[in-house]
Amino acid sequence: MTELVRRAQAGDSDAFAALYRAHVGKVHALCLRLAGDAHDAADLTQDVFIRAWESLGSFRGESALGTWLHRLAVNAFLGTRRASGRRERRVVSVAEPGIHERGGETVSPGTKLDLEWAIAKLPDGARMVFVLHDIEGYQHGEIAEMTGIASGTSKAQLFRARRLLREALE
């Protein structure tokens, strides 16, 4: 448990701000891919950090803080799904020209665009498992715990996601 976390738990909002800055990128990336929508992702990210502030007292350091925040993100996302039902997502990912040169060009902006787009278009359950497993690196057991689905379901959804993505990207 780092000093920053301890101070934030004690109510030090500057310490919490520092934790925010350190983790917002990773939390937001997860929220963005779960929600498939920039507006929702920004709202979700805020929700996560507000919940984190509220429940930081119960964080015991058994997992890394980043993982704990990811769990909050998944919970928050599942909560929004239950609350608002299906909302149409319109997501397009696009590569911006030339700001950063990529040496090697093994993955061109076009590929990333196709892939992010295809991920956003997956059915919710498959997308959630795919993002958590193949992008964020969680195992099925952890995913089951975070999401409340059975690990068999997680394995099935991963298979479905990968198959649908392959088909979409051909």
Partner 1 sequence: MTCQELRARADAYARGELDPADAAAFEAHLESCSACEAALSASDGPLPDVAGLSRSIEPAADLWPAIRERVAARRGRSAWIAPPRWALAAAAVLLIALSSGVTAVLLTSREPRAMATGNISALEAQYSAVSEDLTGALEQARSRLSPETMATIERNLRIIDAALDETRQALARDPANPALGQMVVAAWRQKVDLLRRATALGTET
Partner 2 sequence: MRLHRCLPALLLVAPLAAQQKIERRIAIAPDASIRIHNLVGSIRIIGWDRDSIAVTGSVPPGAGSFYMGGAGRGAKLGIERQDEVKQGQPATLEVRVPRNARLWVKSASATVEASGLTGELECSSVDGSIRVEGSLRLVIAESMEGNINVAGAMSVARLKGGGGTITLRGARGDVLATTVGGAIVATDGAITRAHLETVSGTIAYDGTVSPRGTLDVATHSGDVTLRLPPDISAEFDLGSFDGSILYGLSGKGEGKGKSEEALKPFRGKPISFSTGAGEARIIVRSFKGEIRILKP
Residues near partner 1 (CB under 8 A): 11, 13, 16-17, 20-21, 24-26, 28-29, 32, 37-39, 41-43, 45-47, 49-51, 53-55, 88, 90-96, 98-102, 106-107, 109, 111-113, 115-116, 123, 134-136, 150-153, 155-156, 159-160, 162-166, 169
Question: Quick count: other Cβ atoms within 10 Å of Cβ 38?
Answer: 12
For residue 104, the Cα-to-chain-centroid distance in whole angstroms is 28
Binding site for partner 2 (CB under 8 A): 90, 92, 94-98, 104-106, 108-110, 113
Q: Which does 104 bind (CB under 5 to 8 A by kind): partner 1, partner 2, none?
A: partner 2
Within 8 A by CB and 6+ apart from 9, the residues are: 56, 57, 59
In angstroms, what is the minimal distance from the CB of 69 to partner 1? Answer: 12
d(C-alpha 170, C-alpha 115), whole Å: 11
d(C-alpha 139, C-alpha 31), whole Å: 18
In angstroms, what is the minimal distance from the CB of 63 to partner 1? Answer: 17
In angstroms, what is the minimal distance from the CB of 108 to partner 2? Answer: 5
Q: Which is nearer to partner 2, 66 or 109 (CB)?
A: 109
Query: b/e map of 109-127 (b: 16 or more CB within 10 Å)?
Result: beeeeeebbbbbebebbbb
In angstroms, what is the minimal distance from the CB of 106 to partner 2? Answer: 8
Q: Which is nearer to partner 1, 2 or 108 (CB)?
A: 108
Q: Is the separation of the CB atoms in 113 and 97 below 8 Å? A: no
d(C-alpha 131, C-alpha 11), whole Å: 33
Q: Which is nearer to partner 2, 3 or 101 (CB)?
A: 101
